[in-house]
Amino acid sequence: MEALVTPLSSPLVAVPLKHYPSSSSPLTTSLSFFQKPHKYLNHRIQNSKFGNFLDLIPENKSTPIEFDVNWLDLSHKPLLDVIIIGSGPAGLCLAEQVAQHGIRVCCVDPDPLSMWPNNYGSWVDELSSLGLDSCFDKTWPMASVHIDDHKTKYLDRPYGRINRKMLKMKLLDGCVSNGVRFHKAKVWKINHQEFESSVVCDDGNEFKASLIVDASGFASSFVEYDKPRNHGYQIAHGILAEVEEHPFDLDKMLLMDWRDSHMGNEPNLRVMNSRFPTFLYAMPFDSNLVFLEETSLVSRPVLSYKEIKSRMVARLRHMGIKVRRVIENEKCLIPMGGPLPVIPQPVMGIGGTAGLVHPSTGYMVARTLALAPILAQSIVECLGSTRMIRGQQLYHRVWNGLWPVERRLTREYYRFGMETLLKLDLKGTRSFFDAFFDLNPKYWHGFLSSRLSLMELAMLSLSLFGHSSNSSKFDIVTKCPVPLVKMMGNLVVESV
């Protein structure tokens, strides 16, 4: 949803999406990289000329941003303090923040000026607090959630679609103003010595620095783990489309639509959706232009794109939405939850490589942009000091600056939330969100934005149980004990 989405390869759209997310974007690689889809979710898509968008070719082709950046001078051996791999939102924001303090920074990316591929969405207050109000190209004063055919929640919290070009140019401008250098190449290998590391690029160049930061996204192998990466997965298929008409209120963005009446004539879809539910996320720009995304909030193993697309075709057909043109389409896949990387280690992570994606929702971009200055401060305190703290001390300071004990503990709670959602069918998911959005806004705002303390999360749990229906309470009592025990064990380990 951060992309909704936010998918950070994204984003900043979804209660999720997405919108994702480079380091703040979701994976767009082949599903073969991940666990195999459910073997019984492989039925044939039922095509229909009415409302079927699958045969339409997206018209918009991404073009590089025209921006005069500072390229790394290769005529002499460059002196660098920090090398950042990746030029997504996370990498650029961190580069700007670190360089403000005179630290010599270089961003290495295969195409630093390429346009980010995914849509990003965010709650308006999250970007406003970062001074990025101008980076929305559309905002809605309210959001809505269809629990089922008879109940709709209206959320009094403005939501917006981020203008990717505007945000990238703003971050690039900050980088250029503070002397950040760029190098166009792919990093193949990282070598470590006691007090410095080096990156080896596919163009044959090798650069050394005191700290390497990996902001290249979820698929990176540079950041190490010592535990099984038992992710849940958020997967979505979205289109920015011109339609003949649509039923959405132009003053509200549709955060979640859990209705399944569109599957009445497709029993195979209905049965599978009742076990592994998906929802529609929609941003109506005008009466004929709308962004639509069918999303699986979280599943393990991941659902297939074929399953997601077939449900979206059925939904749009039922809603009477006839797609004239597909302007953009996107496939979003966000690993959620799982363990944190090894802390500390020689390669620093930011964004998806550092475990910053929200384990329960998929949100990442806004949070990453908010935490970049905190990580930057830890880096500056080490590399900007007269005594130059490097090596193991540096790695310890920067990793624990991003993941202090309190933040690790709250993440364990969000992982518990994800594990609980994984156990819910459509009926249980509806009941959960019915109660969740009845909470004091302080709690659901804070949960979706990762702002709550451990004590506040405990209070949220008690309040959520009190607002839940009897059937939902039964789900909590019968399906939560195992995830709860695991969470308590992890909390003990992290607090030691």
The closest alpha carbon to 356, from 345, 346, 366, 347, belongs to 366
179 conformational bin, left if phi > 0, alpha if psi -120 to 50, beta if neither: left
- Which pair of structure tokens corresponds to residue 7? 């998918």
Tell me the residue length of the chain: 496
Measured CA to CA, the distance from residue 190 to residue 348 in angstroms comes to 12
- Residue 56 banded pLDDT, cuts 50, 70, 90: confident
- Residue 259 banded pLDDT, cuts 50, 70, 90: very high
The DSSP bridge partners found for residue 295 are 236, 279
Among 15-24, 49-58, 163-172, 482-491, which stretch is predicted with the lowest mean pLDDT?
Answer: 15-24
Determine whether 198 is exposed, middle or buried from the number of CB atoms within 10 Å of its CB (0-12, 13-18, 19+). middle
Q: Which CATH superfamily is domain 70-135+160-225+340-402 in?
A: FAD/NAD(P)-binding domain (3.50.50.60)
Q: pLDDT tens digit string along 361-416?
A: 988 999 999 999 999 999 999 998 777 899 999 999 999 999 999 999 999 989 98
Residue carrying structure tokens 């009094």: 156
Model pLDDT, residue 476? 67
Q: Is 366 helix (H, G, I), strand (E, B) or coil?
A: helix
Model pLDDT, residue 268? 87
Task: Note the pTM of the prediction, 2 decimals.
Answer: 0.86
Model pLDDT, residue 483? 62
The closest alpha carbon to 26, from 38, 35, 14, 44, belongs to 14
Among 22-31, 85-94, 175-184, 392-401, which stretch is predicted with the lowest mean pLDDT?
Answer: 22-31
Model pLDDT, residue 2? 55
Model pLDDT, residue 16? 42
Q: pLDDT tens digit string along 274-328?
A: 999 999 999 999 999 999 999 999 999 999 999 999 999 999 999 999 999 999 9
C-beta separation of 31 from 302 below 8 A: yes
pLDDT(38) > 80: no
The ranges assigned to domains in the chain are 37-61+228-333, 70-135+160-225+340-402, 405-495
Model pLDDT, residue 391? 96
What dihedral do alpha carbons 136, 138, 140, 143 form, nearest 10°? Answer: -80
Q: What are phi and psi of 412, to 5 degrees?
A: -60, -35
When pLDDT is averaged across residues 166-178 and rounded to a whole number, the result is: 97
When pLDDT is averaged across residues 122-130 and rounded to a whole number, the result is: 95
pLDDT(4) > 60: no
Query: Taking all residues of the chain, what is their mean pLDDT, rounded to a whole number?
Result: 87
Measured CA to CA, the distance from residue 429 to residue 440 in angstroms comes to 19
pLDDT(59) > 80: yes
